[in-house]
Amino acid sequence: MKPLIILALIILAAPLCADTLTAPDYRASLMKFEGVKTVPYKEKDGSWSVGIGHNLTAHSQRIKPSYTRDEISDFFDRDLAAATRAARALIQGFDDLPDAAKDVAIHVIWGVGPTGFQSFRNLRLALSKRAYLAATVELVDSRWAKQVSKDRLDWAVARLQSL
């Protein structure tokens, strides 16, 4: 079986609810860096997003002129559940990591998606081994670091360095 299909099966088999997290609510930090937009906007790659970084194009969703807070909240809940399933599938012992490490993993997955995060082998391995200095080095040298704002990267580095 192809690795992508295996990853999809693992993620789909994981618990669906984000409320099983043993970590803080990610909403505040994701809202801080993603913003909350009720009107769809075009990403650098040409895809359309709305809400708290919800990619409408990737989910094959119809682009509407605007979205309600309830729709945005629903998108967030589903996106967070998917990011959490991916983190659990791709980082050994994710649920036992300190909150700061979970925060960083979720933010990276939020930005590159589960499939993109699969290619972050060294970062995933460093997190699973609780090698936070190595994880910081891998994060700073990543594609994600080049895509996000300096404030967001500094936040993530500080979170890892706090461990």
What integer pLDDT is reported at residue 1 of this predicted model? 52
The structural domains of the chain, with segments of one domain joined by +, span: 21-161
Quickly list DSSP for the chain: --HHHHHHHHHHHS---GGG-SS--SHHHHHHHH--EEEEEE-TTS-EEEETTEETTTTTPPP-S---HHHHHHHHHHHHHHHHHHHHHHSTTGGGS-HHHHHHHHHHHHHHHHHHHHT-HHHHHHHHTT-HHHHHHHHHTSHHHHHS-HHHHHHHHHHHHT-
pLDDT single digits (tens) 63-92: 999 999 999 999 999 999 999 999 999 999
Mean pLDDT score across all residues of the chain: 87
- The CATH code of domain 21-161 reads 1.10.530.40
pLDDT over 90 percentage in the chain: 80
Taking the complete model, does pTM exceed 0.85, yes or no?
Answer: no
